[in-house]
Every structure is written in C-alpha cells, then in structure tokens.
Amino acid sequence: MRIFIEICFDGTAYCGWQKQPNATSVQQTLEERWSELFNIPVTLLGCGRTDTGVHASQFYVHHDVLNEDYIDRLTVAKLNAVLPPDIAVKQLFKVEDHFHARFDANKRSYIYRCTSIKNPFNRHFTFYYPLIREMNIEALQEAAQLLFSVNSYQSFTKTNSGVEHYQCLLYQAEWMQTEDGLEFHISANRFLRGMVRLIVGMCFNYALGKISKSQILEDMKLGTQIQKSWSVPAEGLTLEKVAYPIQLDVLGTDFRI
C-alpha cells in the first residue's frame, strides 16, 4: 500500500530535499526521525528536488506501507511529534501502488518574494533588495514573457545538472506588485536545477538595464548561459503547489488527528 504524505518546510537550515553526504537534508531528517519512531527503516521518495535554503508550502513524498498494523499507527499528530519545528506534516493520502510522487506530478508552482523594506522578521522568506525600487514592473514582465519564446531552458540551469533534456512546459510567468515589494509567480510541468532563481536574476538585470532583450533572446535560442547570469538568493523562493492529474484520496479522519 502506498501512502502520500503532504508536508511543508522552512528550508533555511537544509541543503534541500534530497539527501547529501555532508549536509542535512529534509529527506534525511524525515527518514531518520520516522525510522526511529516506528522502529523500522523508512524510505521516502519526494515530488522533486529543492535547492539549499529553498522553502516549500506544499511538498509530497510517498512511502510504501508493508502491513495494516503499521497503517493503524500512522497519524499526522504522531508523525509531527518527532519532527523539528521547521518541518510539518499536513495530510496523509492513500494512492495506487504505481502512483509516484515525482513522476506523476504534472504541475509545480513557485513564488519568489522580494522587498525593498528591511524587515528582520521576514529575512528567511523574502529577499531584501533595495534596488527593486528602481525597477519598472512592466519591464520585469516583459522579460518574463520572453520565456514563452522557447521550450528549452538550458540557459537557466546550473552546469552539470545531469538531466536528459532541458524542455519544460511553462504555464505561467508573472510579476505582481505587493504592499512592500514584488512577487514572481511561475508554473511549469517541471523545473531544471536552479531555474527559477536564474530567471528572476535575468528579469532583474533586464529591468535595471544591464542586459538587452536581444541578448536574452539570442542566449535562449543558443542554449547558452544568459549574459550577466545571476542566481538570486534562495531565501525568497518557495515551492507553493504541486498538482497531480487525479484527486488524492485523503485517509480517514482518524489519520488526520
């Protein structure tokens, strides 16, 4: 029996979702805590990877349950009780054994938040960048719209990313004004490693007049790194939503207490 677990996390203290040999990851933390809780090895597969310091409001992992007795001990409260304050379980779902948290996800949505107002209470979740006062939101949006002129995004990925191809189906790329800054909303079927932060950096450089539209288009066409490439800081980025082609079946209320 396969269980989907919906979690959220503050990524500040972690090297991302995936386990790394010399750093603490969200995956490692969950597997270690739950293995100790249930006194059996727990292996989890996530809906994707996140970079160091990136957050998630919604993130799914799947776990294969071997017996019904174990199922009876799975509750949101019990799973949360052994987790650190920066990770939380939200819901549990029952899915078909073949359904995969990563490969069956068909849409992922991120928001990048930035502000020109220094606020220590938001420092882990918003990029403080005073120069956004000098940016025109129309220019930012013009840069974002250039993304729809291609379907391969090699120009916006870290080197040695190890992927088979660079194609992504982009659904949304939109800048929005907020009370104290800006938000960039982007959705696609998949994202390359470091892609969103490099896109935001490109938009900033264009709005500040550091790079031209023709340069951006040429680099995207050739698949070369964008000139004056800038990967903006991780703290402003949050994975907001992960979508699947089916309605997930929430386990009974006993499992959500």
Let me know whether 90 and 10 are in one domain. Answer: yes
Q: Going residue by residue through the chain (257 aa), what tens digit of pLDDT does each one get?
A: 899 999 999 999 999 999 999 999 999 999 999 999 988 899 999 999 999 999 999 999 999 987 766 777 788 999 999 999 999 999 999 899 999 999 999 999 999 999 999 999 999 999 999 999 999 999 999 999 999 999 999 999 987 667 889 999 999 999 999 999 999 999 999 999 999 999 999 999 999 999 999 999 999 999 999 999 999 999 999 999 999 998 888 875 444 43
The verdict on residue 109 lying in a domain is: no
CA 43, CA 32: separation in Å to the nearest integer?
A: 9
Let me know whether 69 and 14 are in one domain. Answer: yes
CA 8, CA 189: separation in Å to the nearest integer?
A: 20
CA 240, CA 138: separation in Å to the nearest integer?
A: 24
Let me know whether 189 and 212 are in one domain. Answer: yes
Mode of pairing for the β-strands spanning 181-188 and 170-177: antiparallel
The verdict on residue 56 lying in a domain is: yes
CB contact at 8 A, 88 and 61: no
The verdict on residue 27 lying in a domain is: yes
CATH number at residue 93: 3.30.70.580
pLDDT of residue 158: 83
Let me know whether 150 and 208 are in one domain. Answer: yes
89 phi/psi in degrees, rounded to 5: -90, 135
SS3 195: helix
Residue recorded with tokens 């189906």: 169
Let me know whether 162 and 222 are in one domain. Answer: yes
pLDDT of residue 252: 52
| CA–CA distances in Å: residue 65 to residues 71, 76, 199 | 7, 15, 39
Type of residue at 126: T
Type of residue at 246: I
| CA–CA distances in Å: residue 95 to residues 59, 68, 72, 219 | 16, 15, 16, 42
Domain tally for the chain? Answer: 2
The verdict on residue 96 lying in a domain is: yes
Let me know whether 6 and 83 are in one domain. Answer: yes
The verdict on residue 65 lying in a domain is: yes
**Which of the residues are catalytic?**
51
The verdict on residue 115 lying in a domain is: no
Angle between helices 213-222 and 137-145 (to 10 degrees): 20
What is the model's pTM? 0.94
The verdict on residue 153 lying in a domain is: yes
Let me know whether 147 and 77 are in one domain. Answer: no
End-to-end CA distance of the chain: 21
pLDDT of residue 30: 98
CATH number at residue 218: 3.30.70.660
Type of residue at 32: E
Give me 76's structure tokens: 């949101």
Give me 42's structure tokens: 């727990």
Task: State which residues form the domain around 220.
Answer: 130-231
pLDDT of residue 161: 67
Q: Which residues fall within 8 angstroms of residue 188, CB to CB, at 6 or more apart?
A: 107, 108, 168, 169, 170, 171
CB contact at 8 A, 56 and 50: yes
The verdict on residue 110 lying in a domain is: no
Let me know whether 138 and 223 are in one domain. Answer: yes
CA 57, CA 50: separation in Å to the nearest integer?
A: 12
Let me know whether 95 and 157 are in one domain. Answer: no
Let me know whether 88 and 152 are in one domain. Answer: no
Let me know whether 135 and 226 are in one domain. Answer: yes
Let me know whether 167 and 227 are in one domain. Answer: yes
